[in-house]
Amino acid sequence: MDPVADALIRIKNGYQVGKKLVNIKYSKLILKLLNLLKEEGYLHTVSEKDREIIVELKYSARKPAIADIKRVSKPSLRVYKGVTELPSVLNGLGIAIISTPKGLLTDKQARKEKVGGEILAFVW
Protein backbone atom coordinates (compact mmCIF):
# COMPACT_ATOMS: atom_id res chain seq x y z
CA MET A 1 0.00 0.00 0.00
CA ASP A 2 1.04 3.57 -0.64
CA PRO A 3 2.35 4.94 2.72
CA VAL A 4 1.42 8.56 1.92
CA ALA A 5 -2.16 7.60 1.01
CA ASP A 6 -2.37 5.42 4.14
CA ALA A 7 -1.28 8.32 6.38
CA LEU A 8 -3.67 10.79 4.75
CA ILE A 9 -6.61 8.36 4.98
CA ARG A 10 -5.87 7.65 8.66
CA ILE A 11 -5.98 11.40 9.38
CA LYS A 12 -9.15 11.88 7.34
CA ASN A 13 -10.87 8.92 9.06
CA GLY A 14 -9.72 10.16 12.47
CA TYR A 15 -11.38 13.51 11.86
CA GLN A 16 -14.58 11.87 10.56
CA VAL A 17 -15.06 9.82 13.74
CA GLY A 18 -13.92 12.62 16.07
CA LYS A 19 -10.70 11.01 17.34
CA LYS A 20 -8.12 13.03 19.22
CA LEU A 21 -5.07 10.85 18.42
CA VAL A 22 -4.14 8.87 15.30
CA ASN A 23 -1.25 6.36 14.98
CA ILE A 24 0.58 6.18 11.65
CA LYS A 25 3.38 3.87 10.49
CA TYR A 26 6.77 5.60 10.64
CA SER A 27 8.71 6.77 7.60
CA LYS A 28 10.90 9.83 7.09
CA LEU A 29 8.68 11.10 4.27
CA ILE A 30 5.50 10.75 6.35
CA LEU A 31 7.14 12.49 9.33
CA LYS A 32 8.18 15.43 7.11
CA LEU A 33 4.70 15.60 5.56
CA LEU A 34 2.99 15.61 8.97
CA ASN A 35 5.37 18.24 10.35
CA LEU A 36 4.57 20.41 7.32
CA LEU A 37 0.85 20.05 8.07
CA LYS A 38 1.55 20.97 11.70
CA GLU A 39 3.52 24.08 10.65
CA GLU A 40 0.60 25.12 8.43
CA GLY A 41 -1.82 24.80 11.36
CA TYR A 42 -3.71 21.69 10.26
CA LEU A 43 -2.46 19.39 13.08
CA HIS A 44 -1.93 20.03 16.80
CA THR A 45 1.13 17.86 17.56
CA VAL A 46 3.27 15.23 15.83
CA SER A 47 5.50 12.90 17.86
CA GLU A 48 7.44 9.65 17.35
CA LYS A 49 7.16 6.57 19.56
CA ASP A 50 8.33 3.00 18.89
CA ARG A 51 8.52 3.29 15.07
CA GLU A 52 5.10 4.95 14.98
CA ILE A 53 4.06 8.54 14.54
CA ILE A 54 1.39 9.79 16.93
CA VAL A 55 -0.65 12.69 15.58
CA GLU A 56 -2.89 14.84 17.74
CA LEU A 57 -5.66 16.15 15.52
CA LYS A 58 -6.65 19.81 15.72
CA TYR A 59 -10.22 20.99 16.20
CA SER A 60 -11.66 24.49 16.39
CA ALA A 61 -15.06 24.79 18.09
CA ARG A 62 -15.51 21.01 17.60
CA LYS A 63 -14.92 21.35 13.85
CA PRO A 64 -11.94 19.60 12.21
CA ALA A 65 -9.04 21.79 11.08
CA ILE A 66 -8.97 19.76 7.84
CA ALA A 67 -12.15 19.71 5.75
CA ASP A 68 -10.71 17.27 3.21
CA ILE A 69 -7.46 15.70 2.00
CA LYS A 70 -6.97 14.47 -1.54
CA ARG A 71 -4.05 12.35 -2.77
CA VAL A 72 -2.94 13.61 -6.19
CA SER A 73 0.19 11.79 -7.36
CA LYS A 74 -0.05 8.03 -6.90
CA PRO A 75 2.43 5.21 -7.51
CA SER A 76 0.38 4.23 -10.57
CA LEU A 77 0.13 7.80 -11.92
CA ARG A 78 2.75 10.34 -10.91
CA VAL A 79 1.85 14.04 -11.30
CA TYR A 80 4.71 16.51 -11.78
CA LYS A 81 4.36 20.27 -12.30
CA GLY A 82 6.84 23.03 -13.02
CA VAL A 83 6.89 26.18 -10.92
CA THR A 84 4.63 28.05 -13.37
CA GLU A 85 2.07 25.21 -13.39
CA LEU A 86 1.72 24.79 -9.61
CA PRO A 87 -1.96 24.62 -8.60
CA SER A 88 -3.68 26.92 -6.14
CA VAL A 89 -6.04 25.00 -3.85
CA LEU A 90 -9.44 26.69 -3.35
CA ASN A 91 -7.99 30.05 -4.42
CA GLY A 92 -5.39 29.97 -1.65
CA LEU A 93 -7.63 28.68 1.17
CA GLY A 94 -5.96 25.25 1.06
CA ILE A 95 -2.46 24.00 0.33
CA ALA A 96 -0.81 21.66 -2.12
CA ILE A 97 2.01 19.52 -0.70
CA ILE A 98 4.83 19.19 -3.21
CA SER A 99 7.93 16.99 -3.15
CA THR A 100 10.73 19.13 -4.61
CA PRO A 101 14.52 18.88 -4.84
CA LYS A 102 14.52 21.21 -1.80
CA GLY A 103 12.33 18.85 0.26
CA LEU A 104 8.61 18.86 0.95
CA LEU A 105 7.09 22.30 0.45
CA THR A 106 3.66 23.87 0.23
CA ASP A 107 2.61 25.41 -3.09
CA LYS A 108 3.32 28.91 -1.71
CA GLN A 109 6.80 27.94 -0.51
CA ALA A 110 7.59 26.24 -3.84
CA ARG A 111 6.60 29.37 -5.77
CA LYS A 112 8.79 31.47 -3.47
CA GLU A 113 11.74 29.08 -3.95
CA LYS A 114 10.96 28.88 -7.70
CA VAL A 115 10.89 25.06 -7.81
CA GLY A 116 8.41 22.53 -9.12
CA GLY A 117 8.00 18.88 -8.28
CA GLU A 118 5.63 16.02 -7.61
CA ILE A 119 2.20 17.07 -6.30
CA LEU A 120 1.59 14.70 -3.38
CA ALA A 121 -1.71 16.00 -1.97
CA PHE A 122 -4.21 18.81 -1.61
CA VAL A 123 -5.38 19.82 1.88
CA TRP A 124 -8.18 22.23 2.76
- The pLDDT tens digits for 5-26 are 999 999 999 999 999 999 999 9
Do residues 109 and 58 share a domain? Answer: no
Helix (H) or strand (E) holding 11: helix 3-17
The arrangement of strands across the sheet holding 43-49 comes to 21-25, 52-57, 43-49
Do residues 78 and 34 share a domain? Answer: no
Do residues 60 and 7 share a domain? Answer: yes
Structure confidence at residue 24 (pLDDT): 98
Helix (H) or strand (E) holding 109: helix 107-113
Which of 49, 64, 79 finishes a domain?
A: 64
Which of 23, 39, 64 finishes a domain?
A: 64
Q: CATH number of the domain that 38 lies in?
A: 3.30.1370.30
Residue 1 pLDDT exceeds 90: no
Q: Give me the domain span that covers residue 45.
A: 3-64
- Give me the number of domains the chain comprises: 2
pTM of the predicted model, to two decimals?
0.94
Do residues 51 and 31 share a domain? Answer: yes
Do residues 60 and 74 share a domain? Answer: no
Structure confidence at residue 103 (pLDDT): 98
DSSP state of 74: B
3-state secondary structure of 5: helix
Query: What is the 3-state secondary structure of 21-59?
Result: EEEEECCHHHHHHHHHHHHCCCEEEEEEECCEEEEEECE
Do residues 34 and 79 share a domain? Answer: no
Q: At what angle do helices 3-17 and 28-39 cross, to 10 degrees?
A: 40
- The pLDDT tens digits for 38-96 are 999 999 999 999 999 999 999 999 999 999 999 999 999 999 999 999 999 999 899 99
Question: Could you tell me how far CA 34 lies from the centroid of its own chain?
Answer: 6
Residue 110 pLDDT exceeds 90: yes
Do residues 87 and 108 share a domain? Answer: yes
Residue 123 pLDDT exceeds 90: yes
